[in-house]
């Protein structure tokens, strides 16, 4: 589990492409202070497993499903990526619950400066927008951010100077693809409210004790 608080920016030093998979080698510094073979590292928000390491580089395998779901296939030698180690049990929960399992991608549509902040507009499909709510959380390339605006085609976040200088988000250009992970709580609530034979079919009256009234009464909505 991750928090979406980026620890450092790493650099892709090698990409070995297979038939449908790839192997990434990533250079860093801070995250190597406590890294072991088998550890999970979020790379642009994608949870990858350390398969080998040196004092300042680690290698991770990327399977075909991950390449289909994320923007990792667009990386090149020299690309910069956001890095975060899995959350330690004694750590502070500074962001929100981030699993590192990408739901899909979005496209940077616009940047707009407002005093000390920069608004970023991301266009994304309806199947992801359904879980995005104003003032809710979203992970963009592994960065925990608060949704400031959402409509039926896009959403917006506003970046403070610290986030801009410690992540790669403003290195992206309009039209670039970013990884998106929705807040996990909304997805589980939806699943509980639906019957098992299709997420778009309403739950039958007798199929579950979990209802909207139940969730409101117990403070979940």
On the question of pLDDT at 189 being above 90, the answer is no
DSSP state, 209? S
70 and 36 part of one domain: yes
160 and 194 part of one domain: no
pLDDT tier at 199 (50, 70, 90 boundaries)?
very low
The candidate with the shortest Cα–Cα distance to 96, out of 104, 85, 87, is 87
177 and 109 part of one domain: yes
31 and 59 part of one domain: yes
pTM, rounded to two decimals? 0.85
197 and 154 part of one domain: no
Within a domain: residue 36? yes
Within a domain: residue 150? yes
Q: Are 157 and 119 in contact (CB under 8 A)?
A: yes
173 and 199 part of one domain: no
Each residue of 103-137: b (16+ CB within 10 Å) or e? Answer: bebbbbbeeeeeeebbebbbebeeebbebbeeebb
Contacts of 58 (CB under 8 A, 6+ apart): 25, 26, 28, 32, 35, 41, 50, 51, 52
On the question of pLDDT at 80 being above 50, the answer is yes
| Strands 104-114 and 177-182, sheet pairing | antiparallel
Within a domain: residue 39? yes
Count: domains in the chain: 3
pLDDT tier at 205 (50, 70, 90 boundaries)?
very low
Within a domain: residue 137? yes
Q: Are 7 and 34 in contact (CB under 8 A)?
A: no
Residues 49-77 pLDDT 10s: 999 999 999 999 999 999 999 999 999 99
172 and 190 part of one domain: no
Q: Give the chain's mean pLDDT.
A: 90
Within a domain: residue 191? yes
Mean pLDDT to the nearest integer, 191-212: 59
Q: Are 28 and 8 in contact (CB under 8 A)?
A: yes
Residues 127-150 pLDDT 10s: 999 999 999 999 999 999 999 999
Distance CA 35, CA 14 (A): 19
118 and 161 part of one domain: yes
Residues 148-183 pLDDT 10s: 999 999 999 999 999 999 999 999 999 999 999 999
25 and 49 part of one domain: yes
- Quote the distance between the C-alpha of residue 127 and its chain's center: 16
Name the domain boundary from 57, 85, 113.
Answer: 85
177 and 193 part of one domain: no
185 burial (CB, 10 Å; 0-12 / 13-18 / 19+) is middle
The SS3 of residue 42 is: strand
pLDDT tier at 89 (50, 70, 90 boundaries)?
confident
**Whole-number Cα distances in Å, 99 to 2, 14, 32:** 6, 25, 21
Within a domain: residue 80? yes
pLDDT tier at 192 (50, 70, 90 boundaries)?
confident
According to DSSP H, which parts of 36-98 are helical?
Answer: 64-69
Give the structural domain span for 175.
Answer: 104-182
13 and 55 part of one domain: yes
Within a domain: residue 129? yes
Within a domain: residue 20? yes
14 and 76 part of one domain: yes
């Amino acid at each position: 589990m991750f928090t979406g608080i980026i620890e450092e920016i790493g650099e892709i030093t090698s990409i070995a492409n297979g038939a449908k998979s790839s192997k990434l080698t990533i250079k860093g510094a801070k995250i190597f202070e406590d890294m072991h073979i088998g550890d999970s590292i979020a790379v642009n928000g994608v949870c990858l497993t350390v398969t080998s390491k040196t004092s300042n580089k680690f290698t991770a395998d990327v399977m075909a499903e991950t390449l289909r779901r994320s923007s990792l296939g667009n990386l090149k030698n020299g690309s910069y990526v956001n890095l975060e180690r899995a959350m330690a049990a004694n750590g502070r929960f500074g962001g929100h619950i981030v699993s590192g399992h990408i739901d899909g991608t979005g496209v940077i549509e616009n940047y707009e400066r407002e005093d000390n902040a920069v608004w970023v507009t991301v266009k994304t499909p309806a199947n992801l927008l359904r879980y995005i709510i104003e003032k809710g959380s979203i992970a963009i390339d592994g960065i925990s951010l608060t949704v400031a605006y959402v409509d039926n085609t896009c959403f917006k976040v506003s970046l403070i100077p610290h986030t801009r200088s410690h992540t790669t988000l403003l290195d992206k250009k309009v039209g670039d693809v970013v990884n998106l992970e929705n807040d996990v709580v909304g997805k589980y609530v939806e699943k509980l409210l639906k019957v098992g034979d299709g997420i778009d079919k309403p739950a039958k009256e007798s199929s579950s004790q979990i209802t909207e009234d139940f969730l409101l009464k117990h403070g979940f909505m």
